[in-house]
Amino acid sequence: MENVPLNIIIDTHIPYIKGVLEPYVQSVRYLEPSAIDAAAMADAHCLITRTRTRVDAALLDGSPCRMVATATIGTDHIDLAYCHSHGITVANAPGCNAPAVAQYVLSSVLALANRPMAQHTIGIVGVGHVGRIVERWARALSMNVLCCDPPRAAAGDPGAWYNLDDIAARADVITFHTPLTRDGAYPTWHMCDATFVRSLRRAPIVINAARGPVADTSAMLQGLRDGHIRAAVIDTWEDEPNINRELLEHASIATPHIAGYSREGKARATAMVLNAVCHFFRLPQLLPIGAPVIPAEDLRPGAAPMPADLRQGAVRLLQDTACLRANPDNFEILRSAYDLRPEPRLAIAN
């Protein structure tokens, strides 16, 4: 096949992608996120990126870019309105790392629990790709589960839905899995604020593996000081990579935005964005990376991670916490160089 006259810029830290597009397009360049700027995009028709690159008018004005693909679940680093108004197609990788984040959550609970997991009530705020797997796995581990997702409840989705007041009153583990939104009927920016923290009745473990600004740092710190929060698990931070040192010191588990960093999740994300790029530019759909889809067993009632894998995950998270505390200025380096975890093996109940 003759090369298509396309110039593509790719974040150099996206795994499993090097060499895949080169046989089909004119030019592929791999750049550090800090080097992806307006000058680099001046002749680029496509950008394949991650959350560390802000995609907006400052980056794309005057470029011939027709597509932006992000190898991440979220798109809050992309000015979607700008892209839409300029005819730029945006693709992402929804659900790619959901099993890895669910493993992170349950391994965190195991590491910090002061009684058997079956005696805990977990409140899941945001029941999308990630929250749904957390829900299924938590039920399979005999935890009591409360699901809070106001948009889904308002849409009439089936299931028992609880509001934030219910979660605050009844849960001793609260985990957030929402997108970051500031507008609309259900904004999530600072959803975990001082008012919410003061309303907590069971001194829960609070986990933020969603987006940093979903939880107000000041409110989290005050909650830890006054005992409204027993333990904090922080993977996503406000103002990354310039994270709050006091919260780093007081969080029981503190990691550099790596909850979703599994081998399988990264492979899925790369496969999803490559498929989107190939479809959009009519390139061959032959992608030699063999990325698995999310196994159906991950969502099957009764499927749960093997206890040994959760225990191993808990040990790893405590090691990751010690590493970040020792090297807080190296947040980005620790994230980029992170040794990807395997996803947990599942035991399927009969």
Which are the catalytic amino acids?
Answer: 211, 240, 257
Report the amino acid identity of residue 76: D
Q: Order of strands, edge to edge, in the sheet holding 205-208?
A: 144-148, 121-125, 173-176, 205-208, 231-234, 253-254
Judge whether 26 and 6 are in contact, CB under 8 Å.
yes
Classify strands 144-148 and 173-176 as parallel, antiparallel or unpaired. Answer: unpaired
Phi, psi of 201, deg, nearest 5 = -105, -15
Rounded CA separation 193/188 (Å): 10
